[in-house]
Amino acid sequence: MKYASQAVAKPYFIAAIGLFVGQILFGLILGLQYVVGDFLFPEIPFNVARMVHTNLLIVWLLFGFMGAAYYLVPEESERELFSPKLALAMFWIFLAAGALTILGYLLVPYARLADMTGNALLPTMGREFLEQPTITKLGIVVVALAFIYNIGMTVLKGRKTAVSLILLMGLLGLAVLFLFSFYNPENLVKDKFYWWWVVHLWVEGVWELILGAILAFVLIKTTGVDREVIEKWLYVIIAMTLITGIIGTGHHYYWIGTPEYWQWWGSVFSALEPVPFFMITVFAFNMVNRRRRDHPNKAATLWALGTAVMAFLGAGVWGFLHTLSPINYYTHGTQITAAHAHMSFYGAYVMIVLTIISYAMPMLRGRKAANSERSQVLEMWSFWLMTVSMVFITLFLTGAGILQVFLQRFSDNPQPFMVVQDKIALFYWMREVAGVVFLIGLGCYVASFFVGSRDTERALSAAGQEPAAA
Ligand code: HEM
Ligand code: HEM
Ligand SMILES: [Fe+2]
């Protein structure tokens, strides 16, 4: 580690992994409830488990992004973090707010939670992904402001690089767009219209800048390719992201009561959204092929390449599948959507966070540039188990989705929703099995942190050094 203050990234990464485990456990509960309808009812109803699954996902990804920023910004800026104390304080506030919110979902009926937290004063609750009580949302704003201040001051006072500036732009965009979660108009069309400014403009806009910056950082470090080359790629990628992604929001405006021109704007611009994702794939492979050094952390390089491939498949290919309005007319809100949602979130954002954790954690734990061979082998096993099972989850949901669209919306005598759900139950069982394999992969991932320090110690003592505290 070059700067002592980078250490604040460590609790952020640990919290991210802990919440990730929780997210997957709730995913498995949901998957089982799909086929065993009264599983855990009334203790954990489907709507509550779903909210916990998706909110944990968002929260742990945010922990991951913040950890990534605290780790890479000092190194890019060539100075210590502006205030490590503030970063640590915000860590505990964010963790406490997140834990209380999840407990609130699980222990209190949602309507009562809304009453208890003063939702009547400033109603923001009840919308998918934005279910958090208004006070939690205010807490998120406070944490985000403190975080941006801390990162912003570090960047401004230090060396400015394309990586740190693009990361900062992405993080600022994330915070500013979140403010639309406080706008909750009575008119349902307006409500949905601006809801997508948070949800779509996050994942297909500003988060892509964060992804690009983190990926570029890891590639600079692991390949040794000139920063200038990597920065040029980064500029073109983020330009294409914004050119296609902003107006691409229109692919959510087809059926919510907005003017008809959105059919064209949404279809044309979002059909181009796969372009930046494809450029990310070409970029990552190119840089690794042109590498000037063989970095000992093989696992981190594998995660970086995996992100580049899976983000393109999940967002680019599975997004394109249903983005043209005449197709979306049939697929809207079906298992096709869920298939895309899983592979894109996993491929782009889960994997980029695991990439930076894989790269940074060995250093944060005083293990030099990489974990032991044994630990890396286990981590690579976890990469393949999680990634391959996510491919299967996606394929099973796509199968379910195609049948669902056909039986429920396309055939000559369309059948009711629940009748169709019964007919495609086999796909849901197979999804659940793939989900269990995913959990096993995640178990290997967690286990890899506890493996192999002995090898490190042996190597260090052979070199006549004291082993650093793990
Ligand atoms: C990493 C980037 C992406 C992520 C994380 C992501 C995630 C999601 C999620 C979670 C939904 C479901 C939202 C809901 O609850 O209704 C969704 C919907 C959708 N996404 Fe993406 N997406 C990404 C990129 C893309 C791209 C590049 C395209 C187009 C090429 C695309 C096209 C769509 C469409 C058309 C829908 C609406 C589906 C429907 O009508 O039900 N997405 N996306
Ligand atoms: C890292 C891995 C995962 C990610 C990133 C993820 C992400 C998501 C997202 C974004 C949604 C909302 C989808 C939408 O609105 O269209 C969702 C819903 C869901 N997830 Fe996951 N998930 C993961 C793992 C799992 C696993 C392992 C299972 C179970 C085997 C699972 C089961 C479900 C179910 C059943 C839903 C609800 C779908 C519905 O409402 O019909 N997820 N997940
Ligand atoms: Fe979108």
Residue 209 pLDDT more than 80? yes
Cα(283) to centroid(ligand 1), Å: 23
pLDDT at site 452 = 74
- Separation of alpha carbons 203 and 349, rounded Å: 9
pTM: 0.96
pLDDT higher than 80, residue 459: no
- CB contact at 8 A, 271 and 316: no
pLDDT > 60? residue 276: yes
Give the pocket of ligand 2 (CB within 6 Å). Answer: 24, 27-28, 30-31, 34, 50, 53-54, 57, 337-338, 341-342, 345-346, 350, 431-432, 435, 438
> Of 23-32, 448-457, 459-468, where does mean pLDDT reach its minimum?
459-468
One-letter identity of residue 426: L
Please give the single-letter amino acid code of residue 44: I
Segment 281-302 mean pLDDT:
97
pLDDT at 466 over 60: no
Tell me the CA–centroid distance for residue 277 and ligand 3, in Å: 14
- Nearest CA to 144 out of 190, 99, 187, 181 is that of 181
Band (pLDDT 50/70/90 cuts) for residue 368 is confident
Residue nearest to atom 17 of ligand 1 (CA): 341
**In whole numbers, what is the pLDDT of the chain averaged over residues?**
96
* CA-CA-CA-CA torsion sign (185, 337, 56, 115): positive
Q: With 50 as the cut, is the pLDDT of residue 6 above it?
A: yes
pLDDT digits (tens, 9 = 90+) for 296-348: 999 999 999 999 999 999 999 999 999 999 999 999 999 999 999 999 999 99
Model confidence over 406-417: pLDDT tens digits? 999 999 999 999
Q: pLDDT confidence of 460, banded at 50, 70, 90?
A: low
* 301 touches 288 (CB < 8 A): yes
CA 433 to ligand 2 center in whole angstroms:
14
| Statement: residue 456 has pLDDT above 90 | no
Give the HSE-up count for residue 277: Cα atoms under 13 Å, Cβ half-sphere: 29
Q: What single-letter amino acid sits at 308?
A: A
335 Cβ closer than 6 Å to some ligand 1 atom: no
The tens digit of pLDDT for each residue in 257-270 reads 999 999 999 999 99
pLDDT digits (tens, 9 = 90+) for 76-102: 999 999 999 999 999 999 999 999 999
Q: How far is the CA of 272 from the centre of ligand 1 (A)?
A: 14
Encode pLDDT of 119-135 as tens digits. 999 999 999 999 999 99
Mean pLDDT for the stretch of residues 233-247: 98
Return the ligand number nearest the Cα of 35.
Answer: 2
Q: Please give the pLDDT value at position 469.
A: 43
Q: Is the pLDDT of residue 352 over 50?
A: yes
Confidence of residue 470 (pLDDT cuts 50, 70, 90): very low
